Amino acid sequence: MKKFLYKISPLLLFVAILVVWQVFASQFPRFNFLFGSPSEIFASFVRNTVSGRLLSDFVITGFEALTGFVFGVIFGTLAGFVLWYSPLVARIFRPYIVILGAIPVFAFAPMVIVWFGIGLSMKIAMATLGTFLIALTQAYEGAKSVDVEEFRLLKIFGATRFQIFQKVIFPSSLSWVLASMKLNVGFALLGAFIGEFISSNQGLGHFMIRAGSLYDIPSVFAGGVYLVLLALLFNLIVVFVEKNKMKIIEIFSVSRETKRALKD
Amino acid sequence: MKTMSLPTSRSEQNNIASIKIENVSKQFPVNGGELSVLDNISLDVKSGEILAIVGRSGSGKSTLLNIISGLEKATTGQVSVHGSVGYVPQKDLLLPWRTVVGNILLPAEIKKANLKTSVIKARDLLRKNGLGDFEKSYPSEISGGMRQKVSLIRTLLQDSDIVLFDEPFSAIDFDARLQLVKEVRSYIVSAQKVGVFVTHNFEEAIAVSDKIVVFSERPAKIIYQTEINIPDEYRDPINVRKSKDFQELFERIWKLISKQI
């Protein structure tokens, strides 16, 4: 019994909050106006889900964030590895990367609108921008943190720089890349959301902002629930990649000849 | 699993491997100034010989190995190395995402050598060394001593003419170590390889080598060198104590090293 309670203790807190929230909302109209009530949130959630409204917004925001996430992580990680590969490129670009990293990426939003308009591509661009630099820095730091001794050993084996990358750098920085992916789940959603905040006629951001401007707080929360669901879904993708880490390394890092020779 | 079987070499005849180092000095630039690491080092090793380098840590032994293996250039002096170079590092440096056999095949994979024969040789050596069941294990799943053996097999399978050992047995159990010292020596001598053995354990150095040089503290100079003539039956860190020159040699090296404190 004790063990069971311990296991579900986070859930208990959730239920307790809902109960207190519901009681407050029913007792104090002012509180109800500011925060809504769990029952109203649930009602709005069901109403907007059944009507299909929230579902289509969920798909749209999910598409924007996921596309931006994939672009940002792939290009950012590649760029980070290029910086490792060429010390000259790293030397040239490092100061600019530091400066770019210091500016909130979303300050570029006005320019992004000029470049991409106010459609779907603008939101994707925002999500890409929001994730690119983190992926870049993590991949670069990961590549640089490789054990000097391993590096030295491969050089004695006669490995080329690309072979060193393939056999040691990529596999050992993969955990850094995965860490950047975990961070970037949030930043991709943030990018898409801010894109929708600036200008949109669909998406979860649009839904929540519109509801907020109508003082429909329960609907804002209902949209928030879908945002949380999106974040969880993206996390599942990262977990999937993490689970297949060894396979990915093997595909990229162990040569086909070796695999064939080991088979027979 | 005490014994260690090392590979047989293809190049037992016509071996001309050698290392000759003359008046080598090495300085590293350190913020504005210069750090002198090696000072006028001269040594030579011929095939079938093992040279042991003894000295305190940080005395430039690893720098010398780097110069021999071509990773670094000497600032002044002549370095001539004939033959391919293999290296047994102090840490096993097995890649955690590769299986035991995958790690052993890494050098062959890099050199794009014939992997089929390498696999056969690797499996054979693993089996002979009691590691046959661990072929598909990952390094994290086997003991430190086993990992060190795998690391040794990885280097020796390359069949390099020159093998550099950088304190290779520091992670291995004492009894396994006795056997390994013996095996490594008979491998180098019978296959007519060149061995360079860096260590701070001078019993081990005396047991394994044909020549010993003692390095001073940085910048390293050779402060003592001698040939070791110990019969083969005494060639392990325990039995070596019974050989007649051991005591005198041990005390002399100990005095030289302990003076440096």
User: Do residue A258 and residue B86 have CB atoms under 8 angstroms apart?
Assistant: no
- Beta carbons of B202 and B253 less than 8 angstroms apart: yes
Chosen from A147, A150, A151, A156 to mutate, greatest number of chain B CBs within 10 A:
A156
Residues of chain B found within 8 Å of residue A159, distances taken between Cβ atoms: 110
| Pick from A8-17, A173-182, B184-193: least confident | B184-193
Q: How far is CA A194 from CA A108, A133, B226, in A?
A: 11, 17, 76
Residues of chain B found within 8 Å of residue A152, distances taken between Cβ atoms: 66, 71, 89
Find the CB nearest B111 among A158, A171, A264: A158
Angle subtended at Cα B168 by Cα B54 and Cα B170, rounded to the nearest 5 degrees = 85
Q: How far is CA A216 from CA A23, A32, A33, A165, A181, in A?
A: 19, 11, 9, 54, 34
Q: pLDDT at residue B1 above 50?
A: no
For chain A, say whether B127 makes contact (Cβ under 8 Å): no
Which H/E stretch holds residue B232?
A: none
Task: Report which of B156, B118, B132, B117 is spatially closest to residue B8, judged by C-alpha positions.
Answer: B156
Counted residue by residue, chain A has a size of: 264
Q: Does residue B67 or residue B238 have the better pLDDT?
A: B67
Mean pLDDT on A47-54 = 92
Find the CB nearest A246 among B97, B101, B116: B97
- Beta carbons of B4 and B124 less than 8 angstroms apart: no
Question: Distance between CA atoms of B261 and B254, rounded to whole angstroms?
Answer: 11
Q: What is the pLDDT of residue B6?
A: 65
Question: Distance between CA atoms of B156 and B163, rounded to whole angstroms?
Answer: 8
Q: pLDDT at residue A264 above 70?
A: no
Q: What is the pLDDT of residues A77-99, one digit of tens each?
A: 999 999 999 989 999 998 998 88
pTM tops 0.90, yes or no:
no
- Beta carbons of B160 and B19 less than 8 angstroms apart: no
Q: What is the pLDDT of residue A227?
A: 94
Q: Which of residues 150-179 of B touch A (CB under 8 A)?
A: 158
User: Do residue A262 and residue B110 have CB atoms under 8 angstroms apart?
Assistant: no
Cβ neighbours of residue A103 closer than 8 Å, sequence gap 6 or more: none
Q: Does residue A8 or residue B176 have the better pLDDT?
A: A8
User: Do residue A171 and residue B95 have CB atoms under 8 angstroms apart?
Assistant: yes
Task: Report which of B115, B117, B95 is spatially closest to residue A168, judged by C-alpha positions.
Answer: B95
Q: Does residue A261 or residue A111 have the better pLDDT?
A: A111
pLDDT band at B209 (very low <50, low <70, confident <90, very high): confident
Q: Does residue A177 or residue A260 have the better pLDDT?
A: A177
Token readout for A100 is 């770019």
Q: Does residue B236 or residue A259 have the better pLDDT?
A: A259
Q: What is the pLDDT of residues A209-233, one digit of tens each?
A: 999 999 999 999 999 999 999 999 9
Residue-averaged pLDDT of chain A:
91
Q: What is the pLDDT of residues B58-80, one digit of tens each?
A: 778 888 888 888 888 888 888 88
Residues of chain B found within 8 Å of residue A172, distances taken between Cβ atoms: 97
Phi-psi region of A95 (alpha: psi -120 to 50; beta: other; left: phi over 0): alpha
Cβ neighbours of residue A210 closer than 8 Å, sequence gap 6 or more: none
Q: What is the DSSP string of chain A?
A: -HHHHHHTHHHHHHHHHHHHHHHHHHH-HHHHHHH--HHHHHHHHHHHHHTSHHHHHHHHHHHHHHHHHHHHHHHHHHHHHHHHH-HHHHHHHHHHHHHHHHS-GGGGHHHHHHHHTTSHHHHHHHHHHHHHHHHHHHHHHHHHTS-HHHHHHHHHTT--HHHHIIIIIHHHHHHHHHHHHHHHHHHHHHHHHHHHHHS-SSSHHHHHHHHHHTT-HHHHHHHHHHHHHHHHHHHHHHHHHHHTHHHHHHHHHS-HHHHHHHH-
Mean pLDDT on B1-15 = 53
Q: pLDDT at residue B138 above 70?
A: yes
pLDDT band at B12 (very low <50, low <70, confident <90, very high): very low
Find the CB nearest B102 among A158, A159, A258: A258
Residue of A nearest to B136 (CA): A262
Which H/E stretch holds residue B82?
A: strand B76-82
In angstroms, the separation between the Cα of residue A235 and the nearest Cα of chain B is 24
Mean pLDDT on B147-173 = 85
In angstroms, the separation between the Cα of residue B231 and the nearest Cα of chain A is 34
Q: What is the pLDDT of residue A198?
A: 87
Q: What percent of chain A has pLDDT over 70?
A: 100
Q: pLDDT at residue B2 above 50?
A: no
User: Do residue B105 and residue A258 have CB atoms under 8 angstroms apart?
Assistant: yes
Residue of A nearest to B90 (CA): A149
Specify the amino acid at residue A95: P
For the question of an ipTM over 0.85, the answer is: no
User: Do residue B98 and residue A254 have CB atoms under 8 angstroms apart?
Assistant: yes
The CA dihedral of B183, B185, B191, B195, to the nearest 10 degrees, is 130
Chosen from A157, A164, A248, A249 to mutate, greatest number of chain B CBs within 10 A:
A157
Residue-averaged pLDDT of chain B:
81
User: Do residue B95 and residue A157 have CB atoms under 8 angstroms apart?
Assistant: no
Q: Does residue A68 or residue B173 have the better pLDDT?
A: A68
Angle subtended at Cα A114 by Cα A108 and Cα A115, rounded to the nearest 5 degrees = 85
For chain A, say whether B106 makes contact (Cβ under 8 Å): yes
Token readout for A243 is 């689970």
Q: What is the pLDDT of residue B13?
A: 45
Residues of chain A found within 8 Å of residue B69, distances taken between Cβ atoms: 156
Q: What is the pLDDT of residue A85?
A: 92
For chain A, say whether B105 makes contact (Cβ under 8 Å): yes
pLDDT band at B8 (very low <50, low <70, confident <90, very high): low
Q: What is the pLDDT of residue A2?
A: 83
Q: pLDDT at residue A178 above 70?
A: yes
Q: pLDDT at residue B242 above 80?
A: no
Question: Distance between CA atoms of A139 and A145, rounded to whole angstroms?
Answer: 10
User: Do residue A157 and residue B110 have CB atoms under 8 angstroms apart?
Assistant: yes
Angle subtended at Cα A138 by Cα A137 and Cα A140, rounded to the nearest 5 degrees = 65
User: Do residue B106 and residue A155 have CB atoms under 8 angstroms apart?
Assistant: no
Backbone angles phi, psi at A28, to 5 degrees: -120, 105
Q: Does residue A169 or residue A107 have the better pLDDT?
A: A169
Chosen from B109, B150, B164 to mutate, greatest number of chain A CBs within 10 A:
B109
Token readout for A225 is 């629930």
Question: Distance between CA atoms of B72 and B75, rounded to whole angstroms?
Answer: 9
Q: pLDDT at residue B4 above 70?
A: no
Q: What is the pLDDT of residue A27?
A: 93
Q: Does residue B178 or residue A215 have the better pLDDT?
A: A215
Residues of chain B found within 8 Å of residue A153, distances taken between Cβ atoms: 87, 89, 93
CB-side exposure of A139: number of CA atoms within 13 Å?
25
